[in-house]
Amino acid sequence: MNLLLIRLIIFAVLFFAGLKLYRMYREWKLDRDDPQQGDDQGNRMVRCSWCQVHLPEEDALRERGDWFCSSDHRDKYLAERKEEQKEEKQEENKQGENKQEKDD
């Protein structure tokens, strides 16, 4: 009877020791992984809106919420955007003219 009790106690001690070691290992592993994740956030990759190339955030240029790999691509993108806005305005003007014609 005593032998069985001792075996049970030994088994319980081993079980909890193993559990504690496992938890310590997990915490140690998390501590080791965390700094690497921090590095990833520091070197976040962004995409150039003009050529779709990925580059580190610190090397990229930011303009109105868009990222660019170079000032050249930023200028091209913004120039094209302005043209698109102009075209939209021209279409709006045309539609307005059509309405006026109908009203006449």
Residues in contact with Zn ion by the rule CB under 5 A? 48, 50-51, 69, 73
Which residues in 23-57 are b (16+ Cβ under 10 Å) and which e? Answer: eeeeeeeeeeeeeeeeeeeeeeebebbbeeeebee
Give min distance, CB of 99 to Zn ion, in A.
Answer: 41
47 vs 102 by CB, closer to Zn ion: 47
2 vs 52 by CB, closer to Zn ion: 52
46 vs 48 by CB, closer to Zn ion: 48
